[in-house]
Chains A and B, each alone.
Chain A
């Protein structure tokens, strides 16, 4: 009972600190089971409609990259050259008509498509993403994060809050440790 209360108090305090933080990019670090996802869910409730929470599951369906990212939203690749940059290091994924199925892309590629899908049209909301780069190696995740952080305005992200258990570092990110 006490442990539950302590845990709740810790989560609530961290949530308050995160909301009060002026930083636009916030990282929550901690080991597995430390309560990172609970904290994100908590924040989603506090922001009340202003935030969207995306869990770590990434589902890629049969269809082009464009379809997988936009899922019916009206943003064209031609109008938004930004999206072309996302897969700058993989030629075949630059082709918007490249047809995805379960067998022809890696978990890391799926994850990058999934994150872009979540943030591409944020309409000035707080984005809460759980373990966005868990399937990426350090170099790729650093490049990918750098790309997102540089383009926060273009993605219309008011505030980006993500969880990570990696040792990722970036001076633009205000990290909160949960342990």
Chain B
């Protein structure tokens, strides 16, 4: 993966901030399990409140470390500008790519990694404590997972194409933009405006298709959850309050992972194709 090549450029402090962010997420998952068990054991409201506040403070601490990681990684990436030979690419990297890499690609992967660990922790408690539920969801999962895989394959390809067309478009317009002073003198700025509008057609189609796939992730997951709930109730099952809470957290983590995946795919493709 392209991101792995970037890790060596991160400072020790940035790596430390990223690791602590992931660590805090995992601790939060354990507190979630503790909260779920307390719910099932009918603990007092004050105990539940203490756990809730602890969970909230841990969430804030995670956000603080996560932001610090994001900002530090941006500056680390900006340092990389010194390694680029071409001036245009250098400016583009300093202004745009360094920001995208830090705030979207690297933070995206940290988020995916931390939420996947959270999923593992939460899934383990479901597996241990609610084995019956696992049995119930195995069948729907076997059907939906290949469909999801197919969906993400299409999504990744659409991202690849969108990135290619986006770069073609940007590079083409970048060759035209320097002529703007001449266009002002001879009174044809409209020519450059027309170029910006008219040459965007292919890029717009490819990008719209890619955004469609990315935005469809949420409704697709929502419908799958609805089907799973209907399936669960149609088999005359009841749900414990702790399981509802864990289920809610699991869905949140699944959504974070699937929401970030297309975005990081997109930026990985963009960086690969930009030749930086």
**A interface, CB within 8 angstroms of B:** 52-54, 59, 61-63, 71-73, 101-102, 117-118, 121
Contact = CB atoms under 8 A, between A and B. Distances in A.
A101 B190 contact: no
A126 to B, nearest CB: 13
Contacts of B190: 72
Interface of B: 172, 175-176, 178-179, 182-183, 185-186, 188, 190-191, 194
Contact of A61 (B178, B185, B186, B188): B178
Contact of A62 (B172, B185, B188): B172
A82 to B, nearest CB: 18
B188 A73 contact: yes
B194 A72 contact: yes
3 shortest interchain CB distances as A-B pairs = A72-B191, A72-B188, A61-B176
B191 A71 contact: yes
Contact of A54 (B178, B185, B191): B185
Main secondary structure of the interface of A (DSSP, over half): loop
Contacts of B183: 71-72
B36 to A, nearest CB: 60
7 contacts: A52-B185, A52-B186, A53-B185, A61-B178, A61-B179, A63-B176, A71-B182
Main secondary structure of the interface of B (DSSP, over half): helix
Looking at A52, A72, A102, the one whose CB has the most chain B CB atoms below 10 A away is: A72
Contacts, number: 36
A61 B178 CA distance: 8
A52 B182 CA distance: 11
Contacts of A118: 182, 186
Contacts of B178: 59, 61
Nearest to B183: A71
Contacts of B182: 54, 59, 71, 117-118
Nearest to B191: A72
Nearest to B178: A59
B188 A71 contact: yes
Given A59-B178, A61-B179, 15 more contacts: A52-B185, A54-B185, A61-B175, A62-B172, A62-B175, A71-B179, A71-B182, A71-B191, A72-B191, A72-B194, A73-B186, A102-B175, A117-B186, A118-B186, A121-B186
Looking at B176, B179, B186, B194, the one whose CB has the most chain A CB atoms below 10 A away is: B186
A53 B186 CA distance: 10
Contacts of A117: 182, 186
Contacts of A72: 183, 188, 190-191, 194
B143 to A, nearest CB: 49
Contact of B176 (A53, A62, A73, A121): A62
B179 to A, nearest CB: 5
Looking at B172, B178, B179, the one whose CB has the most chain A CB atoms below 10 A away is: B179
B75 to A, nearest CB: 33
Contacts of A121: 186
